Amino acid sequence: MKQHIPNILTLLNLFCGSIAVLFAVNANFIVSAFFVFLGIFFDFFDGFAARKLQVQSELGLQLDSLADMVTSGLVPGIVMYKLLEFTMEVSPVGTDFSGWEMAINWNGLTYSGLPLFGLLITIASAYRLAKFNIDDEQQTYFKGLPTPANALLVLSLPLIVEFQNNDAINTVIFNRWFLLSFTVLSAYLLNSNIKLFALKFKDFSFINNKSRYIFILLCMVLLVVLKFVAIPCIILLYIFISVLENLTSN
């Protein structure tokens, strides 16, 4: 029975991701984010359970990537699509995006072309997960930003708008050029060669997990102080600590 526990957790991740897709398509970002967070929770503990129960398997590895593709790949792509779609509806006076807006006509309906650029995140996530599955080096570290971290980064944008209620920040987030640049940055980080430490605990000693404990502590402080604005700050902190750790270990 114990060999099925990690796979059940992985399937719960997929289930949460599927629900998140339904809400993201309808621009209900809050509920969608909740199910992504829940899916990432299951994603973290399926690997932990597999290691503790010593039931790692090739099936579990493949199943994990398939679940991540939905929860941490498809959902953020849809969210970025919807955010870009919203910016098309509130174009500044004098801005001509008619070429983009009339890009796709199908079945009597007109679809904006520009928001489709947001799905680059989904494509980059698929490529990143495929590379991870065939890379034997990424056991103790990640090469490029993990898809769950990237999903949190993207989903932080509508959460900041909803809960921070800051006009200056909202203006930046709903700027299409910011969102397009954000999408390109996201795709790059997913497939970059930056070595990032993995939040995988083989034991709970401080000496062997110093970077992880410091990172978690700083994350808690940032979340209390900055709330949802803390999420992009945490991703930057994650990259900074990883790069610093790489430099000091060489």
Asked whether residue 10 is assigned to any structural domain, the reply reads yes
- With tokens 């060669």, the residue in question is 193
Q: What pLDDT, in 10s, does the model give residues 124-162? A: 999 999 998 888 776 667 899 999 999 999 999 999 999
Looking at every residue in the chain, the average pLDDT score rounds to 85
Higher pLDDT, 250 or 88: 88
Name the 3-class secondary structure at 111: strand
Of 171, 174, 165, residue with least CA distance to 228: 165
Assess if residue 231 is contained within a domain: no
Query: With 60 as the cut, is the pLDDT of residue 9 above it?
Result: yes
User: How many structural domains comprise the chain?
Assistant: 1
Tokens of 80: 């970025």
Q: Looking at residue 102, what is its pLDDT? A: 43
Residue 82, in any domain of the structure:
yes
52-67: average pLDDT:
82
Q: pLDDT value at position 129?
A: 94
For residue 42, tell me if it sits in a domain.
yes
Per the domain annotation, does 9 fall within a domain? yes
Helix (H, G, I), strand (E, B), or coil: what is residue 201? coil
Measured torsion, CA atoms of residues 144, 81, 42, 62, in degrees rounded to the nearest 10: -60
Range with lowest mean pLDDT among 43-52, 80-89, 227-236? 43-52
- CA dist 208 and 203 (Å) reads 8
Query: Residue 21 is part of which domain span?
Result: 2-192
Residue 209 lies in a domain: no
Question: pTM of this prediction?
Answer: 0.86
Domain containing 170 — which CATH number?
A: 1.20.120
